[in-house]
């Protein structure tokens, strides 16, 4: 047991001893005085010697390693009492020891610690008061909050009973926070060392842990914080907040812990979590730290190319991901033609991707849920950061509004990418492209039981090319969340908000045709979630959510007085999507646990609407339209829905190995209609209606997890098989914009996806990183002739994003605390494309002939990037902290194909390969924290 | 959207993205589908139908004509079909059709291998006249537009087919020529017209005609009136020789059905508007020709009844002050009039004489001559010196 600071010990000594005394009765049952020590302690450091003693005996030692110099212990003892052993060992070292009644030894230089207390320290009244309090119920003791900051201090929870401690289990709860900034630590695992039972802190840093009364120790681990433990004396229920040290300031060696349990012990499978620190190390194009690009390096996640931030998770389309930014749905997560993601890295705390076992509280998308959690503002002081890159500048400011109660964080980012456009030929010199985004998060602690969170997000992209047509699009999100803790076992969250994505295209050059075209999708949601820690073995959660959609599929209107454009508007769509769910996590044994949840999703397409009717059993075409039916406002025109199962089980074999399996069903009621390979800002969303069915998918997955080398190396193998029903693909020559009968231009396809994902990850040490490999296929099929012409004659065909092989290496080598090197390498099979099968002469030129879809592939993709991250000095108390990142994207300059295509030029067909980044791109980024 | 981003990313080529010629080795099937192009002319003039076959992408043949087929125009009510005759191989024509405006017509084709194809029946459609072909000089060049309207608002879909012709002059006039000895060696320099010593106007003034290969279609379906305003049909960049003297464009307008418009639109997307990051994937696009003998066989093309209305545009150099064009002919070289020098500095394969540079003081003997690259002297190398019939 090492003490990080002896000075701190002195200031806390009183409390320490106080708690030790209280603990005395409880632990005195275990007789330690009789232990005799036998052993050979040859030429070992004093610290190591003491640690060995701790292992052999119940004695605990408190010391400061600085006192030990280079003294060594060199003794052999047989059946010796502890005092004798210590005397022998510490002879000639100048060290002395003292023992208290709890058999704790304090080893100091020269002067021994006094372990006895002044006689009048506790009077009877105090003791009586303590005794009576024990009888009080949980709710009252709950108000007694304490913050556990130190590893070596014994924290007492609940009130000490008068007599002997009754056995049994109690629940303790509290928040994990960053000691420096007060921000919550999310997703940390809190493990009871003796039983290995553990929980994970939630998105507010909240945890609730069920454990046995008595003395115990818990260990806490999370990304970005130093592994640590707390010693507890648990008498009853209570609240304990735990302040943790961020790992970044750890100039001292990190103690390698005995537990690294997350992938082995955790229930979740198919979950990838990355914190912003890891994200920032990965080299990216132009040095723009990009959350989504790094997510793409994880197994099972792909994208169609460099100009798209659309994620394809386990063979899902890019609209099948629910992208949540603090509960707010972001419909288009990209900036600047899809080259950058729309999240300001200075505000993001971490991201978590669920690709297999999606928690029951989430639904509405087939493939995945990507949670992007932003930081809470610093609760102690005003701080900020600013960064300058080649394309964007960003700033964020955070701080308390009301110290320790309310904090805010504000981030803003803007681009000056116009210089890129200035390099264009004359013809385009009037072009402009720009974007900005703003984030504002406020968290407020009303009291210990009530927390309020506000998130606001605004993004906008705008570009016009030579003043002809202007495109703009943006996201707007507002959410408010209230968390109420009833007691250590119960808490509830209520959230509501509004999300909007819109785009518009306008042109004013020719007044006769001047137009404006607008699209928007809006959703207003409300959700309530409750969590009940029934026991250490069981956690139950349940809740409901409801979303009201209002979608304007397209409005086309004149944009000048002289314009002859006929206003045209595709009727608005509205729908209500609700879900009710209950889930239960149950541990049959510490090694075997099962999580099951049922979610019932119900969707109603609502009036007012004029619905096109089609003859049954024939393709939906304009010719087969039988007329329309008009529905009034609020009519439930079409209902869809059904139960969704989410089941997973985990079995741990030994300390380092576990097996997990899961099955889940998802339904998706909103679709993106697109016949482009990339997410285009002009893609439109469509609600399921009478003629367009929701998509349904189910997934069966199995995972094996094994840790090596003291859990510093994590490995996993996950396999999955997925069925997709009613995924929309487009008909040849589909017109998706301003179409009053969009169902005539799309078809429902069946799909299947399967794959194997391997991950090897080392997250600690000087050298850290991961290596992932994915084999996966995604195949679609349209063999229903009642829908129209078969696609590829009804055979299975690969989806646009079907890339069977995909391997990624992300590595970071910390040369010193101020200098690190990062290397990123990725290889994948080329994506499928449709290439011509022949050519013919028509309309004055040779033209290409197309037939089956996606029968060819572009060349394979390979890229290596390198980056150096240089930090300024680590002095804590300076005004500015500087850092640089310098790197090269696409180090080998390989001209990776984004697409291969044939185009008729001057009457001849020419084949081309288009690379988005056809050369090595160096970059530099400067950041300053204040 | 698509078009613009296309330009954007192409334009980024010099900075970071890159586009390079790429021909993957593809194992493609032999297709050889029938391709039918043309329209049944409801106006005055010939009906021309071209039959050809799809070929392999790697084949060097430009167009593989389908010959010896029987091509007929047949009406829905009037079963007596009118047969077209094959003029040049693969081109089937009839000088003038008389169609009943209330009937519907289609094409019936029987190929020499015995297979029969028909197009869908098409109503008889007439085409409004072109209001104007206008042009505007912009920063980067000259933009040419078509403008039309249909007061009855029945047309809505239009196609433009156009060709351009321009007069151009050689950079250097030519009054001299070489004479050759019996073995083909350069013997001496002489005047082309030894009586007048004038320059040779037949190699000085030429015309060039080009068919424009881009599909140009327009629709007024979004407008309250059936108006096509400022439909971009051609852009002539600054520095083009097309506008050096006199330029003319013949624009032919055809009324289309909605389906024909969609066919051409998709053909344009598949073959011209492709290559940007947001492009729609190319897809199957076959038209309205069906193979009667084998319904599974693919045939390509869209044939319907329509007519053409033409309008001609003229742009003279006087309306384009300071139009600078680049001929690549800045160098005229001066060479001693000696066979050896001429051979070395003006090889006849790529150079021609222009005019006299220096003579002896009395002016009787040419001592130095000028010469330039052949294409700067003889305009016939770039065009034809026969003035088109319509040229003023």
Residue A875 phi/psi, 5° resolution?
A: -60, 130
A840: nearest CB among B16, B20, B55: B55
Percent of chain A with pLDDT over 90: 32
pLDDT at position A141? 39
The 3-state DSSP class for residue A377 equals coil
B280: nearest CB among A565, A676, A842: A676
Chain A contacts of B35, Cβ < 8 Å? Answer: 840-842
CB B29 within 8 A of CB B44: no
Q: Residues B319-346: pLDDT tens digits?
A: 998 888 877 888 888 888 888 888 888 8
CB B240 within 8 A of CB B145: no
CB of A305 within 8 Å of a chain B CB? The answer is: yes
8-state DSSP, A361: T
Q: Mean pLDDT, consecutive 10-residue segments, chain A of 930 residues?
A: 37 35 35 64 81 79 74 78 81 77 76 55 43 36 62 80 75 83 79 78 82 84 78 83 68 37 68 82 78 87 81 89 92 82 87 89 92 87 84 87 89 79 56 86 90 94 76 93 89 95 88 90 96 87 95 91 89 95 90 92 94 89 88 93 93 87 94 77 87 94 88 89 92 83 91 94 85 94 88 91 93 87 92 90 90 89 90 70 85 88 87 82 81
Q: Residues B41-92: pLDDT tens digits?
A: 999 999 999 999 999 888 887 789 999 999 999 998 866 789 999 989 999 9
CB of A627 within 8 Å of a chain B CB? The answer is: no
* Chain A CA closest to residue B54: A840
Q: How far apart are CA B178 and CA B45, in angstroms?
A: 49
Element counts in chain A: helices (H) and strands (E):
9, 57
Cβ pair B264:A843 closer than 8 A: yes
* Chain B CA closest to residue A793: B296
Query: Cβ neighbours of residue A5 under 8 Å, at least 6 residues apart?
Result: A64
Q: How far apart are CA A919 and CA A540, in angstroms?
A: 53
Chain A contacts of B63, Cβ < 8 Å? Answer: 841, 846
Cβ pair B20:A912 closer than 8 A: yes
| Arithmetic mean of pLDDT, B366-372 | 88
* pLDDT above 80: residue B279: no
pLDDT at position A876? 61
| Continuous segment of H or E residues that includes residue A24 | helix A6-27
A286 to chain B, minimum CA–CA distance in Å? 11
Tell which residue, B64, B66, B99, B55, has the closest CA to residue B81.
Answer: B99
Q: Which two tokens stand for residue A896?
A: 């990776």
Binding-face residues of A in 819-838 toward B, CB within 8 A? 833-838
* Chain A CA closest to residue B29: A837
Cβ pair B282:A838 closer than 8 A: no
By the 10 Å C-beta count (0-12 exposed, 13-18 middle, 19+ buried), A421 is classed as buried
Cβ pair A564:B270 closer than 8 A: no
- Residue A149 or residue B313, greater confidence: B313
Residue A354 exposure: Cα atoms within 13 Å on the Cβ side: 22
Chain B contacts of A426, Cβ < 8 Å? Answer: 139-140
Cβ pair B29:A837 closer than 8 A: yes
> Can you state the angle between helices A46-56 and A82-90, rounded to 10 degrees?
170
| Continuous segment of H or E residues that includes residue B149 | strand B141-149
The model's confidence at residue B255, banded by pLDDT at 50, 70 and 90, is very high
CB of A473 within 8 Å of a chain B CB? The answer is: no
CB of A586 within 8 Å of a chain B CB? The answer is: no
Chain B contacts of A907, Cβ < 8 Å? Answer: 213
Tell which residue, A278, A384, A250, has the closest CA to residue A874.
Answer: A250
pLDDT at position A137? 35
Chain B contacts of A740, Cβ < 8 Å? Answer: none
- Give which of A288, A556, A561, A733 to mutate to test B binding, by max B Cβ within 10 Å: A733
Q: How far apart are CA A775 and CA A33, in angstroms?
A: 60
Query: Cβ neighbours of residue A333 under 8 Å, at least 6 residues apart?
Result: A292, A309, A323, A341, A342, A343
Give me the total of CB pairs closer than 8 Å, taking one residue from chain A and one from chain B.
Answer: 230
- Give which of B284, B285, B287, B298 to mutate to test A binding, by max A Cβ within 10 Å: B284
Chain B contacts of A922, Cβ < 8 Å? Answer: none
Q: How far apart are CA A417 and CA A392, in angstroms?
A: 7
Cβ pair A838:B54 closer than 8 A: yes
* DSSP assignment string, B117-144: EEEPPEE----PPEEEEEEEE-SSEEEE
A423: nearest CB among B7, B14, B214: B14
CB of A515 within 8 Å of a chain B CB? The answer is: yes
Cβ pair B20:A856 closer than 8 A: no
Cβ pair A842:B17 closer than 8 A: no
Residue A595 neighbours by CB distance under 10 Å: 23
Binding-face residues of A in 841-900 toward B, CB within 8 A? 841-851, 853, 856, 859, 895, 897-900
B282: nearest CB among A564, A850, A915: A850
Cβ pair B283:A853 closer than 8 A: yes
Handedness of CA B96, B100, B104, B110 (dihedral sign): negative
Query: Cβ neighbours of residue B19 under 8 Å, at least 6 residues apart?
Result: A912, A913, A914, A915, B10, B13, B275
pLDDT at position A144? 52
* Chain B CA closest to residue A680: B278
Chain B contacts of A894, Cβ < 8 Å? Answer: none
* A28, A211, A229, A233 from A192: Cα distances, Å: 21, 7, 10, 12
A5 to chain B, minimum CA–CA distance in Å? 54
Binding-face residues of A in 638-697 toward B, CB within 8 A? 675-678, 680, 682
Q: Residues A668-709: pLDDT tens digits?
A: 999 998 777 666 767 889 999 999 999 999 999 999 999 887
- Give which of B38, B259, B278 to mutate to test A binding, by max A Cβ within 10 Å: B278
A851 to chain B, minimum CA–CA distance in Å? 5
Chain A contacts of B162, Cβ < 8 Å? Answer: none
- Whether the pTM exceeds 0.90: the reply is no
ipTM score of complex: 0.87
Chain A contacts of B223, Cβ < 8 Å? Answer: 512-513, 564-566
B83 to chain A, minimum CA–CA distance in Å? 23
- Give which of B2, B4, B52, B148 to mutate to test A binding, by max A Cβ within 10 Å: B4
Cβ pair B300:A895 closer than 8 A: no
pLDDT at position A132? 37
Cβ pair A915:B17 closer than 8 A: yes
* Chain A CA closest to residue B27: A837
Q: How far apart are CA A342 and CA A330, in angstroms?
A: 9
B87 to chain A, minimum CA–CA distance in Å? 19
Cβ pair A834:B283 closer than 8 A: yes
């Amino acid at each position: 047991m090492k003490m990080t600071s002896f000075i701190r010990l002195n200031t806390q000594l009183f409390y320490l001893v106080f708690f030790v005394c209280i603990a005395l009765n409880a632990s005195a049952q275990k007789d330690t005085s009789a232990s005799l020590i036998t052993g050979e302690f040859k030429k070992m450091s004093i610290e190591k010697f003491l640690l060995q003693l701790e292992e052999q005996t119940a004695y605990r030692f408190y010391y400061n390693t600085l006192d030990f110099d280079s003294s060594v212990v060199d003794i052999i003892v047989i059946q010796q009492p502890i005092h004798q052993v210590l005397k022998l060992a510490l002879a000639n070292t100048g060290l002395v020891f003292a023992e208290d009644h709890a058999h704790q030894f304090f080893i100091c230089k020269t002067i021994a610690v006094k372990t006895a207390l002044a006689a009048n320290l506790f009077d009877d009244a105090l003791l009586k008061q303590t005794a009576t309090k024990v009888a009080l119920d949980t709710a009252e003791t709950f108000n007694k909050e304490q913050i556990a900051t130190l590893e070596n201090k014994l924290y007492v929870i609940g009130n000490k009973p008068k007599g002997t401690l009754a056995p049994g289990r109690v629940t303790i709860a509290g928040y994990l926070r960053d000691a420096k900034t007060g921000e919550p630590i999310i997703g940390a695992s809190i493990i009871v060392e003796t039983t290995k039972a553990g929980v994970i802190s939630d998105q507010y840093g909240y945890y609730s842990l069920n454990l046995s009364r008595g003395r115990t120790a818990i260990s806490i681990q999370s990304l970005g914080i130093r592994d640590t433990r707390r010693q507890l004396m648990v008498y009853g229920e209570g609240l304990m907040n735990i302040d943790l040290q961020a790992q970044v300031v750890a100039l001292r060696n990190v103690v390698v812990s005995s537990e690294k349990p997350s992938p082995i012990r955790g229930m979740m499978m198919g979950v990838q979590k990355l914190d912003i620190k890891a994200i920032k190390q990965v080299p990216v194009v132009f040095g723009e730290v990009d959350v989504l690009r790094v997510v793409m390096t994880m197994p099972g996640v792909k994208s169609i190319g460099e100009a798209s931030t659309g994620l394809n998770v386990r063979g899902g389309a890019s609209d099948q991901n629910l992208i949540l930014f603090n509960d707010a749905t972001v419909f288009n997560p990209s900036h600047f033609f899809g080259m950058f993601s729309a999240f300001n890295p200075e505000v993001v705390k971490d991201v978590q991707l669920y690709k297999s076992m999606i928690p029951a509280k989430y639904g509405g998308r087939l493939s995945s849920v990507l949670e992007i959690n932003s930081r809470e503002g610093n609760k102690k002081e005003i701080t900020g950061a600013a960064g300058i890159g080649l394309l964007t500048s960003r700033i964020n400011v955070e701080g308390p509004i009301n110290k320790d109660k309310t904090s805010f964080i504000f981030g803003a980012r803007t681009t000056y990418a116009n210089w890129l456009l200035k390099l264009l030929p004359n013809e385009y010199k009037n072009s402009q492209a720009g974007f900005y985004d703003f984030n504002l998060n406020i968290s407020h602690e009303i009291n210990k039981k009530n927390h309020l969170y506000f998130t606001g997000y605004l993004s906008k992209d705008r570009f016009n090319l030579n003043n002809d047509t202007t495109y703009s699009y943006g996201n707007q999100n507002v959410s408010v969340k209230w968390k109420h803790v009833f007691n250590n076992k119960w808490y509830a969250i209520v959230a509501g908000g509004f999300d909007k994505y819109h785009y518009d295209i306008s042109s004013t050059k020719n007044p006769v045709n001047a137009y404006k075209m607008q699209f928007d999708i809006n959703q207003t949601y409300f959700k309530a979630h409750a969590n009940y820690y029934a026991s250490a073995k069981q956690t139950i959660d349940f809740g409901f959510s409801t979303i009201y959609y209002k979608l304007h599929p397209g409005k086309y209107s004149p944009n000048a007085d002289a314009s002859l454009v006929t206003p045209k508007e595709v009727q608005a769509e509205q729908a209500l999507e609700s879900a009710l769910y209950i889930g239960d996590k149950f541990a049959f044994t510490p090694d075997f646990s099962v999580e099951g949840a049922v979610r019932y999703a119900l969707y109603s397409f609502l009036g007012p609407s004029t619905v096109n009717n089609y003859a049954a059993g024939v393709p939906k075409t304009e010719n087969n339209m039988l007329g329309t039916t008009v529905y009034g406002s609020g009519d439930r025109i079409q209902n869809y829905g059904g139960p969704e199962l989410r089941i997973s089980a985990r079995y741990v074999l030994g300390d380092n190995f576990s097996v997990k399996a899961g099955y889940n069903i998802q339904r998706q009621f909103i679709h993106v209609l697109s016949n482009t390979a990339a997410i285009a800002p002009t893609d439109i969303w469509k609600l399921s209606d009478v003629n367009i069915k929701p998509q349904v998918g189910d997934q069966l997955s199995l995972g094996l997890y094994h840790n090596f080398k003291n859990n510093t190396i994590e490995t996993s193998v996950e396999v999955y098989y997925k069925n997709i029903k009613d995924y929309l693909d487009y008909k040849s020559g589909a017109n998706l914009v301003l179409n009053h009968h969009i169902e005539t231009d799309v078809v429902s396809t069946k799909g299947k996806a399967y794959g194997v994902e391997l991950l090897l990850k080392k997250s600690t040490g000087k050298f850290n990183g991961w290596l992932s490999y994915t084999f996966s296929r995604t195949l679609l099929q349209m063999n229903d002739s009642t829908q129209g012409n078969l696609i590829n004659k009804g055979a299975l065909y690969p989806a646009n994003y079907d890339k069977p092989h995909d391997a990624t290496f992300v590595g970071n080598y910390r040369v010193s605390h101020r200098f690190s090197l990062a290397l990123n390498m990725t290889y994948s099979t080329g994506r499928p494309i449709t290439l011509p099968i022949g050519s013919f002469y028509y309309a004055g030129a040779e033209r290409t002939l197309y037939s089956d879809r996606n029968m060819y592939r572009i060349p394979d993709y390979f890229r290596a990037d390198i980056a150096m991250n240089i930090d300024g000095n680590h002095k804590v108390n300076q005004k500015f902290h500087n850092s640089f990142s310098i790197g090269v994207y696409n180090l080998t300059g390989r001209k990776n194909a984004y697409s291969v295509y044939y185009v008729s030029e001057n009457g001849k067909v020419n084949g081309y390969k288009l690379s988005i980044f056809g050369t090595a791109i160096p970059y530099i980024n400067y950041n300053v924290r204040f | 959207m698509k078009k613009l981003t296309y330009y954007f990313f192409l334009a980024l080529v010099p900075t970071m993205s890159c586009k390079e010629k790429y021909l993957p080795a593809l194992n493609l099937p032999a297709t050889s589908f029938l391709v039918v192009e043309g329209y049944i002319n409801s106006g005055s003039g010939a009906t021309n139908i071209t039959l050809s076959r799809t070929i392999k992408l790697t084949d060097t043949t430009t167009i593989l004509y389908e010959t010896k087929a029987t091509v007929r125009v047949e009406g829905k009510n009037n079963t007596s079909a009118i047969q077209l005759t094959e003029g040049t191989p693969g081109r089937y024509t009839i000088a003038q059709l008389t169609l009943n405006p209330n009937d519907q017509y289609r094409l019936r084709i029987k190929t020499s291998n015995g297979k029969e194809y028909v197009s869908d029946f098409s109503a008889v459609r007439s085409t409004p006249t072109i209001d104007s072909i206008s042009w505007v000089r912009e920063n980067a060049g000259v933009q040419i537009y078509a403008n039309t309207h249909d007061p009855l608002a029945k047309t809505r879909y239009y196609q433009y087919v156009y060709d351009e012709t321009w007069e151009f002059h050689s950079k250097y006039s030519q009054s001299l020529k070489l004479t050759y000895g019996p073995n083909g060696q350069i013997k001496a320099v002489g005047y082309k017209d030894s009586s007048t010593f004038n320059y040779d106007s037949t190699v000085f003034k030429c015309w060039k005609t080009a068919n424009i290969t881009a599909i140009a279609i327009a629709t007024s379906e979004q407008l309250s009136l059936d108006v096509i305003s400022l439909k971009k049909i051609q852009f002539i960049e600054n520095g083009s020789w097309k506008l050096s003297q006199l330029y003319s464009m013949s624009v032919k307008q055809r009324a289309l059905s909605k389906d024909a418009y969609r066919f051409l639109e998709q053909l344009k997307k598949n073959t011209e508007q492709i290559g940007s990051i947001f492009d729609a994937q190319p897809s199957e696009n076959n038209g309205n020709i069906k193979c009667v003998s084998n319904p599974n066989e693919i045939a390509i093309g869209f044939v319907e009844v329509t007519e053409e209305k033409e309008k001609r545009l003229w742009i003279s150099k006087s309306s384009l002050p300071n139009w600078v064009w680049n001929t690549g002919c800045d160098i005229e070289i001066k060479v001693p009039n000696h066979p050896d020098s001429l051979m070395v500095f003006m090889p006849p394969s790529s150079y021609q004489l222009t005019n006299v540079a220096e003579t002896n003081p009395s002016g009787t003997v040419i001592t130095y001559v000028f010469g330039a690259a052949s294409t700067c002297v003889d305009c016939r190398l770039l065009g034809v010196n026969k003035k088109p019939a319509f040229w003023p």
